[in-house]
Amino acid sequence: EKRIKAVLAAYLVLFRDGKVLLSQRANTGYYDGYFGLVSGHVEGKEIFTEALIREAFEEAGIQLKFQDLETCHFMHRYEDLNPTGSKVRVDVFILAKSWRNEIINKEPEKCSHLDWFSLNDLPENTIPYIKSAIDCIRAKKRYNEYGF
C-alpha cells in the first residue's frame, strides 16, 4: 500500500468581542464567494506557525509573534473539490491571542471582503469545513476528521 501524501495548511483564528475574522474568497477557482479564514499552505521547510505568520502578513497585514500563537484545532480532511494534487489535507488552526498592525485586505485580487462576523451568526456561505472547524474550536474539540 502506498503512503499518503498530504497537503499541509495553516489557518489563522482571530476572535474579538464574540466575533471571528473571515475572508471572502475571489478569483481563485476554489470556493470563490465563500468565507474562510486567513490561511495558506506550508511551503518548503516551514513549520505550521512560520507559514501562518507569513500568510497573516501577506493577506491581512498583521504581524504575529510565536509566543502569542496557540494551536487550537487539528483537522484531517479529504477534499473532493480540489482538481489538482493530493486530496488528503492536514489543516492546523492556530489562535493568535494578539497581533500588531491594523487588519487590512492586502490581497484584494483573491479576497473580496475581510471582516469580523458573529460566532453565533456565521455567513451562510462559509466554507463547510471552516464552519466545522470553528464549531469544534468553540466546543474545545481539538481534533476532527472531515470529508472521509
User: What is each CA distance from 117 to 11, 19, 37, 39, 79, in whole angstroms?
Assistant: 16, 5, 11, 17, 25
Concatenating the DSSP letter of every residue in 37-93 gives -SEEE--TT--HHHHHHHHHHHHH--B--GGGEEEEEEEEEE-SS--SS-SEEEEEE
Residue range 31-84, pLDDT digits in tens: 999 999 999 999 999 999 999 999 999 999 999 999 999 999 999 999 887 666
Q: Which three cell numbers stand for residue 139?
A: 466546543
Residue 90 has pLDDT above 80, yes or no: yes
Residue 83: predicted pLDDT: 64
Residue range 97-130, pLDDT digits in tens: 999 999 999 999 999 999 999 999 999 999 999 9
Residue 80: predicted pLDDT: 82
| Burial letters 16-47, b for 16+ CB under 10 A, else e | eeebbbbbbbeeeeebeebbbbbbbebeeebe
pTM of the model: 0.94
